[in-house]
């Protein structure tokens, strides 16, 4: 089974404007091309600055409000995030995600029920131990509710 994680939606710099997915990114050539066809280099810190080009751009109001012009900062895992955003638009992803999300939300609610919303102890080690025990208890409760039993030699799951 593959992980089904819905990526965060992109927020454009200007309401209804361009997002990073509207730009053409070529990581091998270390360049980014804006929707108007202007290409700039990506520096060593993963930034591309369109400053001097934005001053005369006819669609600047769809791109940025900054006086210094548009700057794009690439995430180290940009390709992975872009692929996840593309996958999240497919109907197959939405069918699987809609089936799994209610159970995930319910499990998180069980996990923080009672006094488990805040850490109980001083020190990272004790709180990590508490969280791992809490997660094991929630998982065990879920397995018991699903009807998992031990027949003496192995664990048996009911057919769902």
Q: Confidence band (pLDDT; 50, 70, 90) for 102?
A: confident
Q: Tell whether the model's pLDDT for residue 33 goes beyond 90.
A: yes
What is the residue-wise DSSP string for 108-153? HHHHTSTTTTS--SSSHHHHHHHHHHHHHHHHHHHHHHHT-EE-SS
Q: Tell whether the model's pLDDT for residue 106 goes beyond 90.
A: no
Which residues neighbour 112 within 8 Å (Cβ) at sequence distance 6 or greater?
Answer: none
Regarding predicted confidence, which is higher, 137 or 118? 137
Radius of gyration of the chain (CA): 24
User: Is the distance from CB of 40 to CB of 52 less than 8 angstroms?
Assistant: no
Q: Tell whether the model's pLDDT for residue 27 goes beyond 60.
A: yes
Share of the chain above pLDDT 90, in %: 31
**Residue 156 bridge partners (DSSP):** 149
Q: Are strands 149-150 and 24-26 parallel, antiparallel or unpaired?
A: unpaired
Q: Confidence band (pLDDT; 50, 70, 90) for 2?
A: low
User: What pTM, to 2 d.p., does this model score?
Assistant: 0.61
Q: Tell whether the model's pLDDT for residue 4 goes beyond 60.
A: yes
């Amino acid at each position: 089974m593959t992980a089904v994680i819905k990526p965060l939606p992109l927020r454009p710099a200007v309401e209804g404007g361009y997002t990073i997915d509207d730009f053409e990114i070529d990581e091998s050539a270390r360049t980014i091309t804006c929707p108007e066809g202007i290409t700039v280099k990506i520096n060593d810190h993963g930034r591309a600055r369109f400053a001097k080009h934005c001053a005369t751009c006819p669609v600047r109001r769809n791109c940025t409000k900054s006086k210094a012009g548009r700057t794009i900062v690439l995430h180290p895992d940009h390709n992975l995030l872009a692929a996840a955003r593309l996958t999240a638009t497919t109907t197959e992803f939405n069918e699987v995600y809609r089936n799994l999300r209610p159970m995930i939300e319910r499990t998180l609610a069980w996990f923080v029920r009672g006094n488990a919303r805040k850490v109980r102890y001083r020190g990272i080690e004790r709180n990590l131990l508490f969280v791992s025990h809490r997660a094991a208890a929630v998982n065990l409760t879920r397995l018991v509710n699903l009807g998992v039993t031990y027949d003496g030699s192995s664990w048996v799951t009911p057919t769902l």
